[in-house]
């Protein structure tokens, strides 16, 4: 393998990105150039090509290389309950608040939460959060669940969006948390979880919901037993979770956002965007969320200055925010 020459200039790299957009419909022009350079350089090196010009010619003659480049440019670092701590905050504070509160509820703050289970996460390194309700009596569980529905209109949807969902582990993780929270009452609410990505192949895998055991072995046994079934030497997530999630193509660069959301999880996607595209994303997120809706970012991401007055911080470590 050879090293890509420094003489490959950014103007030629921009032409490659323009080519991807105009010929294939994938727009990476607002992504951080350093990240794009690394991934294009990898493809060039694997094909012993030293310049962007030669690589563009190679793309014209090799449709398979187009596919491989697109695969490398789309980030697919994911997993069930990945970076577990935010899922404690979702389980113990955010989801109960969404379920129990009517529209335009008062903001959730760190003190005196209305109708919210007190935060008591165990080790942030435990993957995933333990099954809920351990040690409670049957009567206590039922009483707790009834509190979730105080003020909640059963006709209302719960709408959750996971852009950049890759092979679907994050939307399914949210689905499992909701089922653990609601138990048999899950059928009383119209729950819609939207998982979107720009890569058609990864979305097909997400829809199937089939994973190798190595993907689920890190989960607490209760989740594996309750929500997965053996499937052709792998494991498939059960229909009760799959039916909650809708997958589709969506590009944050140029597609309008999904709207009327109670919760939006966009974790470790914005770090690959340049400043202009980050601003666009936050405008879209603010528009997409209902009043008092929740936004969850990745551990290396924060609300940019232009939008700090539009959100309140719920948990800094978890990067959980609420629209004002």
pLDDT given at position 35: 81
pLDDT given at position 221: 87
pLDDT given at position 116: 35
pLDDT given at position 241: 97
Whether residue 141 is predicted with pLDDT greater than 70 in this model: the reply is no
pLDDT given at position 93: 95
Q: Which residues pair with 296 in a beta bridge?
A: 265, 320
pLDDT tens digit string along 263-274? Answer: 999 998 998 888
pLDDT tens digit string along 87-121? Answer: 999 999 999 999 987 543 334 444 333 333 333 33
pLDDT given at position 143: 41
Classify domain 85-323 at the CATH topology level.
Answer: Rossmann fold (3.40.50)
pLDDT given at position 16: 87
Whether residue 245 is predicted with pLDDT greater than 60 in this model: the reply is yes
pLDDT given at position 308: 94
Weakest-pLDDT range from 34-38, 158-162, 291-295: 34-38
Whether residue 220 is predicted with pLDDT greater than 70 in this model: the reply is yes
Whether residue 278 is predicted with pLDDT greater than 70 in this model: the reply is yes
Please tell me the distance from the alpha carbon of residue 85 to that of residue 75, in angstroms, as a whole number: 22
The first and second tokens of residue 276, run together, are 């202009």
Interval 164-175 mean pLDDT: 95
The CA distances from residue 148 to 87, 100, 253, in Å, are: 18, 4, 37
For the chain, the average pLDDT equals 81
User: pLDDT confidence of 139, banded at 50, 70, 90?
Assistant: very low
Interval 27-42 mean pLDDT: 84
Q: pTM surpassing 0.85?
A: no
User: pLDDT confidence of 131, banded at 50, 70, 90?
Assistant: very low
Q: What is the 3-state secondary structure (H, E, C) of the chain?
A: CCCCCCCCCHHHHHHHHHHHHHHHCCCCCCECHHHHHHHHHHHHHHCCCCCHHHHHHHHHHCHHHHHHHHHHHCCCCCCCCCCCHHHHHHHHHHHHHHHHCCCCCCCCCCCCCCCCCCCCCCCCCCCCCCCCCCCCCHHHHHHHHHHHCCCCCCCCEEEEEEECCCCCHHHHHHHHHHHHHHHHHHHHCEEEEEEEECCHHHHHHHHHCEECHHHHCCCCHHHHHHHEEEECCEEEECHHHHCCEEEEECCCCCCCCCCCEEEEEECCCHHHECHHHHHHHHHHHHHHEEEEEEEEECCCCCCCHHHCCCEEEEECCCCEEEEC
Q: Where in the chain is the domain with CATH 3.40.50.150?
A: 85-323
**Alpha carbon 198 to chain centroid distance?**
13
């Amino acid at each position: 393998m050879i090293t890509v020459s420094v003489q490959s200039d950014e103007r030629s790299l921009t032409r490659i990105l323009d080519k991807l957009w105009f010929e294939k419909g994938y727009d990476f022009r607002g992504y951080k150039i350093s990240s794009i350079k690394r991934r294009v350089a990898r493809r060039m090196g694997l094909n012993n090509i030293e310049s962007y010009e030669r690589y563009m010619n190679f793309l014209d003659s090799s449709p398979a290389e187009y596919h491989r480049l697109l695969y490398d440019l789309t980030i697919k670092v994911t997993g069930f309950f990945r970076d577990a701590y935010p899922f404690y905050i979702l389980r113990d504070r955010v989801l109960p608040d969404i379920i129990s509160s009517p529209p335009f509820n008062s903001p959730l703050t760190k003190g005196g939460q209305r109708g919210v289970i007190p935060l008591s996460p165990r080790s942030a390194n435990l993957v995933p959060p333990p099954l809920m309700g351990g040690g409670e009596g049957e009567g206590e569980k039922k009483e707790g669940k009834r509190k979730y529905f105080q003020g909640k209109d059963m006709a209302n949807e719960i709408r959750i969006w996971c852009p950049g969902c890759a092979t679907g582990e994050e939307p399914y993780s949210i689905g499992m948390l909701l089922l653990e929270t609601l138990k048999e009452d899950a059928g009383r609410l119209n729950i819609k979880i939207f998982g979107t990505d720009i890569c058609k192949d990864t979305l097909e895998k997400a829809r199937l919901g089939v994973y190798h055991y190595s993907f689920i072995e890190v989960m607490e046994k209760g989740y594996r037993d309750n929500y997965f079934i053996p499937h052709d030497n792998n494991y498939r997530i059960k229909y009760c979770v799959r039916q909650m999630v809708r997958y589709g193509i969506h590009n944050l660069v140029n597609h309008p956002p999904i709207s009327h959301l109670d919760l939006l999880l966009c974790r470790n996607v914005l770090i690959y965007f340049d400043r202009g595209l980050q601003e666009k994303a936050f405008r879209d997120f603010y528009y997409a969320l209902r009043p008092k809706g929740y936004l969850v970012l990745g551990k290396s991401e924060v609300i940019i200055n232009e939008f700090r007055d539009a959100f309140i911080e719920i948990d800094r470590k978890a990067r959980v925010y609420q629209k004002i």
